[in-house]
Amino acid sequence: MKRLFALLVIGALAASPASAIVCQGLVGKITMEPNGDTYVGWGTSYTRICNPGQSVNVNRGPTYGGGTTITPAGCAALVSLFMTARATGKQVAVHVDQSSCVFVDNYNNPYPYYFDFLP
């Protein structure tokens, strides 16, 4: 159910292509910048996921349709899922349309096309 919810939040309901990889780890630091940009760390990866005060345009990569918008409501839902995972010591699997789990401010890498909150 959490996986489906995360899929709906970011608007990507496609199956994983062969070129996609999974970056997995415990949900660690969750930070919100003064402008509202919210960053989440999982394992060795760390990236901006959204902004609860405004819609954010992101790029999911060519396989998953390129650009999409993360709305404030979608952001609130994602932040809640990440906070719950962190509080309960759960891992998240982050599915990305790229060949590396190295994220640099979410600008040089596609936005994850879905987050899988593991039991």
The CATH number covering residue 63 comes to: 2.40.50
The per-residue pLDDT for range 3-43, each reduced to its tens digit, is 544 544 444 334 444 456 788 899 988 999 999 999 888 87
Count how many domains the chain has: 1
Listed in order, strand segments (DSSP E) in 1-119 are 21-32, 38-42, 45-50, 56-59, 67-70, 91-96, 114-117
**Domain enclosing residue 86, as ranges:** 2-117
Q: Report if pTM > 0.85.
A: no
